[in-house]
Amino acid sequence: MQEFPEFIEEEEEEESWPTTIRLEIIEYILRRHGALRAPDLAHILDWKVREINRVLRQLESSGRAKRMKLGKNYVWSSIEEPHLTPMHY
């Protein structure tokens, strides 16, 4: 029998796909809809707030999301801000 060590090594190095999907889903929502609170994201996705906060912190540490203080709460937004294009009057 022939083994495939290259494939096994490659698979071990990557993040688990459910984690990657969660990161991408939340990042997409933040890019599409702007700044949102963690409880709002939890309500939209029907996840627990703890899960949302964990994913948001991962996005923040990788430089893909940022947290801002707004009143008593924090809101999260994507680092990419496509709506900041020049306006011509």
Domain ranges, residue 47 = 16-78
Evaluate if pTM is beyond 0.85.
no
CATH number of the domain residue 53 falls in: 1.10.10.10
For residue 22, tell me if it sits in a domain: yes
**pLDDT digits 0-9 by tens, 50-89:** 999 999 999 999 999 999 998 898 999 988 755 555 545 5
How many structural domains does the chain have?
A: 1
Return the closest-CA partner of residue 66 out of 51, 76, 58, 53: 76
Query: In this structure, which amino acid lies at residue 21?
Result: I
For residue 7, tell me if it sits in a domain: no
Query: In this structure, which amino acid lies at residue 35?
Result: A
